[in-house]
Structure 1
């Protein structure tokens, strides 16, 4: 293969080539990604091949550093030692139970003697600190963090994806403890150790405060749980969060402009690589998703979970949501008639509206809408709809901007804020509306939804009234 045609370690996003390096499976939980990627800043494959080698080297150094600090023999040895100590704890409990039933037996004395001998072996091999921690865990005077994670997660209702984030945050912290030879028992983590972790893992490493605070919040949640259980005496993570950067108005996420909406729906003529300029448009599925999001204010995952029976009474029936307020009914905008009818026609009530999307396995952290979000990111970049400040974590326009756009247009149409909040699933403020009110009428919500429209220049398909027996927009009279 000619060097100029070589695409090893390269992927294309929009018109630009990125270097892509795979992260080893055992380090993905620590690094937080399956791949490390960095742009070459060029749409030329030949130029990208000249640039990529230095980037590959830099990305591989990151992986090697993670392996050295987090994924090496020290972490595995410490993890193994904790599991061994927990097994000794079980053995001691069983010995105690046996002695209780057999007064003449000496199982407890024999087991504690053997444990002391094992602690001496560890002291010779790994030092006094490790030996003391091992012994404290074995006799139940210290509780290793890893031994409580499953129970903590089980008692905290979360989506699989949130569970993955929480486990990853704790795994990164315990890996740091192992690398620095700090104690790994909850009771022995002091505010000083917690503060040192925040400084070394986040502040000194240049991690964005929002990302750092997400991890710190996850670990603090474990400590709050441990405090309630009587395992931890105090939450050493209190006050450890990094100060949030003061974001100017220009840095805030925003809704789409009318021109951006037109571009996203109508497409744009662009040149990809060395190909001749061609019209790039959204796929039929992505176009349907964008239309529903723009004219309902629904979240992308709420749309992805829709089934036929969820749209047969003139409204979208949302059964599961992030909050209690998110469980709601959203009137179907008349402009969505063709989409909804097409996607429900001749299908069973339990059938999904989106057969193109794979169903995540039970317990999977992957959400059903993930494919849509990824496709949207690629598409909007291809057509030039992007707004990213230098050094920013992400663009100010994302799929969630459709939700911001809906709220903005409803407000600009003069709709009452408390009714908009019901439509989009936000908690209503105040005692009167938030507690005492039984909620607005569906016709009030329909007025809010129908006040929103796409800008002129965006054409949507209309339903052929002769090809279907009825409209999905009309509430059932049966």
Structure 2
């Protein structure tokens, strides 16, 4: 029958009315928590309901200790495995050295008496440490060494190898004691020592750490897509470290970047994510801080390509004529929605995600005429803005709103990152590819067309950023100024002009 405290962690000692909270420590972390089997603490009350409330924070504290102990044990596991691999390589090299030269019964030390004294000290230490089996083997080896019987080269090598076997077991015993290894782990240590190349370090970035960091990102990064990208990049690095069996260092990060991409932008994104994880882990993961706290970040100091193709290629603006041709092609294909999307982008300079979130709640009317739109959800803080509507598309916007079934300019698709027009972006991609445009021509290129046209027609340099949602890069205007006026922005917007193919709509304009 299950005891009461095993169900709710509360129990009373014989003859006492006070309730105690008790938690059994899992066997795998008992050594890290003082070799105790249980954790017990008084709740200070005889009222069971009150005791249950008191127990919650106590249990939460204990369970956090267990999680931390397990995390520490994982890091320590790689530490002792690496030590055994190094020891194994050293012992193998000593065996090779012995076989490559003429050898006598005397070991490498020139002073046999001094060496025997060290064996005696080791013999005593092993007895004190509770390992009489290893102490006896040292004693037997010492007797063979002092027999002074001439040995052949082969017999000398055999005797030396027996000594190395004893030292191997002594090293394993010391590791087992220091790291509280289980029987299976002791056997694993023995196998690693004898075959050190079988050991590959596991990544210090555990899945549980990535999960904790992901929860931290929820409080720091607004966009779900950005958070997911950060997590994906760091998890990919962790998987690569485990597969390659190498440690987390500047050199390994450099090798990883080489394996991912040569493009500067891609590398920069991976370094951005890695740097964010490193800063979090050093602050909030005690085991990680203990291992890497004194080390410089392996994500800093990398030199990225600055010239050539790998340095990055920016999207190419369409010319005004090319935007007109794209619109015409959409009309001829009967894709009215795509033609309208091209027109709205061309006359506002908005990002496609911004257009996808425009609804009747974001449109400002003067009487029955839409005169401006408010962008209230954008990629950056500077992207939050109000844009005057060009006189050429006020009728179009009114038509789109009146025919909308959900209040948005365009019908939204299913995208987990709430990019409502992702499906429209793909349709545009197929359209422009069919017309022979390059991979550097995308829907975003229309935004560049609008900026270019306003600049060429003399729009003030500080007004254009206010329309498209960019910072000016000047603290006077980005921080101190209230920004360009609506009249200034309207004058710049009205400089845009396109000869778009007329559309024939099946739906009538609601008044």
**TM bucket normalised to smaller:** 0.5 to 0.7
CA distance in 1, matches of 2:27, 2:378: 41
Conserved 8 A contact 2:200-2:242: no
Tell me the equivalent position of 1:157.
221
Larger-Rg structure: 2
1:218 Cα deviation from its structure 2 partner: 1.9
Which of these residues, 252, 255, 258, is aligned with residue 196 of structure 1? 255
Which of these residues, 432, 452, 461, is aligned with residue 380 of structure 1? 432
Other structure's SS at 2:235 match: helix
CA distance in 1, matches of 2:303, 2:189: 36
Q: Tell me, yes or no, if structure 1 residue 322 matches structure 2 residue 379.
A: yes
Other structure's SS at 1:101 match: strand
CA distance in 2, matches of 1:263, 1:94: 76
Which of these residues, 136, 139, 146, is aligned with residue 207 of structure 2? 146
Matches for 1:92-103 after TM superposition, within 5 Å: 98-99=38-39, 101=41
- Report the CA distance shift for 1:123/1:316 in structure 2 as closer, same or farther (over 3 A): farther
Which of these residues, 213, 217, 225, is aligned with residue 280 of structure 2? 225
Tell me the equivalent position of 2:350.
298
Tell me the equivalent position of 1:459.
501
Tell me the equivalent position of 2:85.
none
CA distance in 1, matches of 2:458, 2:445: 20
Superposed CA RMSD in Å reads 3.9
- Report the CA distance shift for 1:96/1:439 in structure 2 as closer, same or farther (over 3 A): farther
CA distance in 2, matches of 1:371, 1:342: 22
Tell me the equivalent position of 2:182.
116
1:419 Cα deviation from its structure 2 partner: 0.8
Counting helix residues as a fraction of each chain, which structure ranks higher? Answer: 2
When the two structures are aligned, how many residues end up with a matched partner?
335
1:326 Cα deviation from its structure 2 partner: 0.6
Conserved 8 A contact 1:338-1:462: no
- Report the CA distance shift for 1:266/1:94 in structure 2 as closer, same or farther (over 3 A): farther
1:323 Cα deviation from its structure 2 partner: 1.2
- Report the CA distance shift for 1:402/1:302 in structure 2 as closer, same or farther (over 3 A): same
Write out per-residue CA displacement over residues 114-169 of structure 1, whole angstroms, 9 at most, x where no aligned residue.
863353354467777999979xxxxxxx9634222233233331422222322221
Unaligned runs of 5+ in 2: 1-25, 43-65, 67-72, 74-176, 366-370
1:92 Cα deviation from its structure 2 partner: 5.4
- Determine which structure has greater relative contact order: mean sequence separation of CA pairs < 8 Å that are 6+ residues apart, divided by chain length: 1
Q: Tell me, yes or no, if structure 1 residue 171 matches structure 2 residue 244.
A: no
Conserved 8 A contact 1:331-1:449: yes
Conserved 8 A contact 2:328-2:339: no
Tell me the equivalent position of 1:180.
244
CA distance in 2, matches of 1:249, 1:144: 29
TM-score by length of 2: 0.57
- Report the CA distance shift for 1:132/1:261 in structure 2 as closer, same or farther (over 3 A): closer
- Report the CA distance shift for 1:228/1:462 in structure 2 as closer, same or farther (over 3 A): farther
TM-score by length of 1: 0.61
Tell me the equivalent position of 1:288.
340
1:425 Cα deviation from its structure 2 partner: 0.4
Tell me the equivalent position of 1:211.
266
1:264 Cα deviation from its structure 2 partner: 0.4
- Report the CA distance shift for 1:100/1:287 in structure 2 as closer, same or farther (over 3 A): same
Write out per-residue CA displacement over residues 148-195 of structure 1, whole angstroms, 9 at most, x where no aligned residue.
223323333142222232222122212211212235xxxxx2223323
CA distance in 2, matches of 1:382, 1:376: 10
Matches for 1:432-471 after TM superposition, within 5 Å: 432-454=476-498, 456=499, 458-461=500-503, 468-469=510-511
1:236 Cα deviation from its structure 2 partner: 1.0
CA distance in 2, matches of 1:261, 1:148: 48
